[in-house]
Amino acid sequence: MKNILESKFLNEYCATAANMYRLGWDERNGGNISYLLTEEEVKEVLDTDKVVRLIPLGFDAKELAGKYFLVSGTGKYFKNFVGDPENNVGVFRISADGQNAELLWGYADGGRFTSELPAHLMSHIARLRVDPTNRVVMHTHPTNLLAMTYMFDLDTVKFTHKLWQMNTECIVVFPDGVEVLPWMLCGTNEIGEATAEKIALSRTVIWSMHGIYCAGHDLDETFGLVETVEKAAQIYMMTEACGGAKNLISDDQLKLLAKRFNLTYRDGVI
């Protein structure tokens, strides 16, 4: 059996978290990532018959029963993942009744998964119904996007349109647009349910005055989605600080991009 500390999935996960911290998106213990692992990946590095302990989920995740996840721990700093993954992240399986996480490795200091796990698992359920290849849900606090939620209308169509106008690649990278939620209390089943409802429509959900939730096939794709949305928000904030943009990508130009890249883009935005 291979050493989990040498596994590709764990090292990629920790490197992604370190990069997000470096960019200033995940201050202190802010942010969390959940990664749906295959049984084959897990069995290469862990004995799946040895459950370290059960951790109650606090909601019914029976739709994910038997699935394996790599999830960041509550109160943990992304900057520490690379140097000490065993105390900062955990690998668990959802129990057959959907009520518990069966911890197989990690959270070695007695910790548990992120308080945002309901939003993560509910989002996984929603995305898997739409796209069975979805494996990652990422929550982070990109600075400029966060600032934009204080400055711009909290409206899904308007927010999507403005981001698309800020950078040529935006409509190409996220043609499904973004969904926008009003401020809600974090760490609750209620925000998890609201996020899952939105993420079924778009891979990107903005938590106003808080951050972003993104879903994707793998860590690179999901990170790149956050990165692109944040870059567009940065351009918006920079141009607003200079008195507002004098030039914008027009709707006709957005349609030209959609035709060039054969995109099916969100209806009603342009």
Strand-strand pairing, 179-181 and 204-207: parallel
Q: Residue 229, SS3?
A: helix
Distances (CA, A) of 190 to 46, 59, 197: 34, 11, 11
Is 247:163 a contact under the CB 8 Å cutoff? Answer: no
- Name the residue among 10, 146, 12, 16 with its Cα closest to residue 70: 10
- Name the residue among 86, 141, 94, 143 with its Cα closest to residue 118: 94
HSE-up of 108 (CA within 13 Å, CB side)?
8
27 is catalytic: no
Q: DSSP characters for 31-59? A: -EEEEEEPHHHHHTTS-TT---EEEE-SS
Cα 176 to Cα 191: distance, rounded to the nearest angstrom: 21
- Please identify which of the residues 116, 179, 197, 230 carries the catalytic annotation: 116
Q: Which residues of 203-233 are buried (b: 16+ CB within 10 A; e: fewer)?
A: bbbbbbebbbbbbbebbebbbebbbbbbbbb
Is 137:123 a contact under the CB 8 Å cutoff? Answer: yes
Is 270:255 a contact under the CB 8 Å cutoff? Answer: yes
> Hey, which residues are catalytic here?
116
